[in-house]
Amino acid sequence: MFGLYESAFGTLTWGNILMLLIGGLLIYLGIGKKMEPVLLIPIGFGMFAVNIPLGGLMVFTPDGFPVEVPTFTEAVKAIGEGKLGVLNMLYTYGIESEIIPLLIFLGIGALTDFTPTIARPLSIVFGGTAQLGISVVFLIAYFSGMFTIKEAACVGIIGGSDGPPTVYTTAALAPQLLGPIVLVAYSYMALVPIIQPPVIKLLTTKKERAIYMEPTVREVSKLEMIIFPVVIFVVAGLLVPKSVPLIGMFMFGNLLRVSGVTDRLFQSAGGPFVDVLTFLLGLTVGALMPAEVFLRPQPLAIIGMAVVAFAFSTAGGVWGAQITNLFLKKKINPMIGAAGVSAIPMSARVVQKLGQQENPRNFLLMHAMGPNMAGAIATSVHAGILLGLLM
């Protein structure tokens, strides 16, 4: 009986070893540096799980796609025979079906305070212009010849710096790239404090960065907070029907928050509900990255293109604010446009820090949070446009 035992050491490749090291790095960054720990730790552990040979938690086809799950009864039998992994089921029913990213967005909506955006509706413009990186990198990826048009759209959506739309779009258009795209997207969101400042300083003058803005924004009424998610959902849904699942979940979660009569639902959606979904997403995404899938030219190219996407999105937000200033008597600090990159709240904190460096009297955080929240809406709409064109 013991002669049939097979150790995984004999089948361990250098690629597996490299991916185990990368998984360990992600766990270190999550724990030691507190960089997106709720996702990087599960992703890192998922990479461990799939890069230990013979583990069988996720089974792939020769083309690098997760094996599709048949009916539930057949799946149980296939798992017992080693033809299917437990995480194949979680991927098929949770990620490929797009249920988990949509429900996560509901939870995020319950955690989101749109007060700064409502107080300064102009923020929606900056949230829109800060999606420039999506379009630029979409074109770069497509014309590079390395990606199909659907794959290029998924690479571009990284520039929106918003996790659920990135997962949702990639699961729909290019599921074979889901692992590296989600890993790069969430990793770079944690690196926003490093990526954004050089771009902002390059595009603005010291005088512009020192523009003073009153530290408070106007008070927003309860009625405005209730109307906002309803209006945004209806308008976005009519203009871009394919954005309805994303915007619908996002705004529904927010309506639970602001209605004042659904506190139990709001607290559940923004608490244990979204926490469980997040670690399931991270673990499954990590398991999509065995060495033979991740260590290919496409995933490695995505790492470089994501930097370009974040840089152009930051630039788009700044340029949007600078152009708006041409028509305003009371100028705004153009750095708040950079917060339209919806890495909430990191990009807003970057603007706050840079603003105080140039003018210690400046307190830009609340002003920057407006475009920050608006960027999440704009990314969802942009994702809907890409899905409408390419599905």
pLDDT digits (tens, 9 = 90+) for 213-270: 887 778 899 999 999 999 999 999 999 999 999 999 999 999 999 999 999 999 999 8
**Overall residue count recorded for the chain in this entry:** 391
Contact 86/92 with Cβ under 8 angstroms?
Answer: no
Q: What whole-number percentage of the chain has pLDDT above 70?
A: 95
Cα 192 from Cα 183, distance rounded (Å): 15
User: Measuring CA to CA, how many Å separate 209 from each of 143, 290, 321, 340?
Assistant: 36, 45, 12, 16
Return the DSSP state at 58: S
Residue 111 lies in a domain: yes
Q: How many CB atoms lie within 10 A of CB 375?
A: 32
Lowest mean pLDDT among 5-14, 218-227, 255-264, 374-383: 5-14
Residue 30 lies in a domain: no
Contact 189/343 with Cβ under 8 angstroms?
Answer: yes
Tokens of 323: 């152009």
Residue 292 lies in a domain: yes
Residue 288 lies in a domain: yes
Residue 160 lies in a domain: yes
Nearest to 210, CA basis, from 74, 345, 80, 364: 364
What's the pLDDT at 1? 41
Residue 91 lies in a domain: no
Contact 108/266 with Cβ under 8 angstroms?
Answer: no
pTM of the model: 0.87
Return the DSSP state at 333: P
Question: Is the omega angle on the peptide bond into residue 62 within 30 degrees of 0, that is, cis?
Answer: no
For the segment 194-214, the average pLDDT, to the nearest whole number, is 92
Containing domain of residue 196, as a range? 99-390
Q: Give the DSSP H/E element, type plus range, for residue 166.
A: helix 163-173
Q: What does the pLDDT look like over 110-142, one tens digit per residue?
A: 999 999 999 999 999 999 999 999 999 999 999
Q: How many CB atoms lie within 10 A of CB 66?
A: 28
Residue 88 lies in a domain: no
Q: Mean pLDDT over all residues of the chain?
A: 88
- Residue 320 half-sphere exposure toward CB, CA atoms < 13 A: 25
Nearest to 37, CA basis, from 278, 284, 315, 348: 278
Residue 32 lies in a domain: no
For the segment 327-344, the average pLDDT, to the nearest whole number, is 90
Q: How many CB atoms lie within 10 A of CB 265?
A: 17
Q: Is the model's pLDDT at 60 over the cut of 90? A: no
Q: What total of structural domains would you count in the chain? A: 1
What's the pLDDT at 10? 59
Where do runs of H (alpha helix) occur along 204-243?
A: 206-209, 222-239
Cα 153 from Cα 128, distance rounded (Å): 17
Cα 130 from Cα 259, distance rounded (Å): 30
Taking the CA atoms of 164, 167, 171 and 173 in sequence, report the sign of the dihedral they define: positive
User: Measuring CA to CA, how many Å separate 263 from each of 102, 114, 228, 250, 350?
Assistant: 21, 17, 18, 17, 32
- Name beta bridge partners: 247: none
